[in-house]
Amino acid sequence: MENLEQARQWLAGATSLAVLTGAGVSAESGIPTFRGADGLWKDFKPEELATPEAFARDPRLVWEWYNWRRELIRKAQPNPAHRALVKLEIKIAHFTLITQNVDGLHDLAGSGKILKLHGDIWRMRCTACGANWPDRRAPLPKLPPHCACGGLARPGVVWFGESLPEGMMKEAEHAAASAAVFLVIGTSAVVYPAAGLVPFAKHAGAKVIEINTEPSAVSGIVDCALHGPAGEILPQLL
């Protein structure tokens, strides 16, 4: 049976679905991915921009990069892949969307239940008092931004070497373990612990479907690989 038809059948019969998305789901909205030919990590070094040490060394430099990304993301709109996931959420009783993306496009599309493993670029956190708050201004009026208490603010994202938000990985694992179908979309699946959800779901008995323009680190273990842009393939699965 053709892969697309097989995936469609599994989804049509599923009462529980967990989805893991990565940067590729937002690529068709014009947001650069991290790896690959046009990826952000070609021109920028993660250890200089996306670690607590980098921020301690030069908060202004880190904020300039995040300010630039916020401006880029602010212009972007959800694409047909984000919108198809909203339709699946409405259709399938037990649905969990797990994302590594910080861009907020799943929210903007209308997804209701989202586990943002790597945080949210539109939130800030105070390094002094721990307050955290939303801020959608792009560009920011002053770099680096500060909290009302006077403390230095940092982006509300998870950096390399940091833990994921408290309890969120447990919730993601629970969703992966109880899903009949696990969809993995637009991720190179090389960053842990997020990538570990794919074998986790597979061992728990889910049918794993991958949508990606290229093979990823988990392509070898998925039950069904659909090659192509998520914005074209996902709507065909509904």
Interface with ligand OAD by CB under 6 A: which range of 51-59, 63-71, 107-115, 181-189?
181-189
Per CB under 6 A, contacts with ligand OAD among 49-108 are 50, 100
237 binds ligand OAD (CB under 6 A): no
Q: Residue-wise over 10-27: b if at least 16 C-beta within 10 A, else e?
A: bbeebebbbbbbbbbbbb
118 a catalytic residue: yes
CB of 148 to ligand OAD, least distance (A): 27
Nearest-angstrom CA–CA distance, 158 and 165: 8
Using rule CB under 6 A, residue 230 touches ligand OAD: yes
The CB-nearest residue to ligand OAD is: 24
Stretch that binds ligand OAD, among 18-26, 69-77, 133-141, 164-172 (CB under 6 A): 18-26
Measuring CA to CA, how many Å separate 192 from each of 15, 44, 125, 138?
A: 27, 20, 23, 30
Helix-strand-coil split of the chain, %, nearest 5: 40, 20, 40
Q: How far apart are CA 3 and CA 228, in angstroms?
A: 12
Which position among 6, 8, 16, 36 is part of the footprint of ligand OAD (CB under 6 A)?
36
Q: Which stretch binds ligand OAD (CB under 6 A): 83-91, 120-128, 145-153, 207-215?
A: 207-215
- Which member of 17, 22, 208, 209 binds ligand OAD (CB under 6 A)? 22
Q: What's phi and psi for 225, nearest 5 deg? A: -110, 125
Nearer to ligand OAD, 111 or 205 (CB): 111
Largest pairwise CA distance in the chain: 61
Half-sphere exposure of 2 toward its Cβ, with a 13 Å CA cutoff?
A: 5
Rounded to whole angstroms, the Cα distance separating 180 from 204 reads 9
Q: Residue 27, interface with ligand OAD (CB under 6 A)?
A: yes
Residues that bind ligand OAD (CB under 6 A): 22-24, 27-28, 33-36, 39, 46, 50, 100, 118, 158, 160, 186-188, 191, 211-214, 216, 229-230
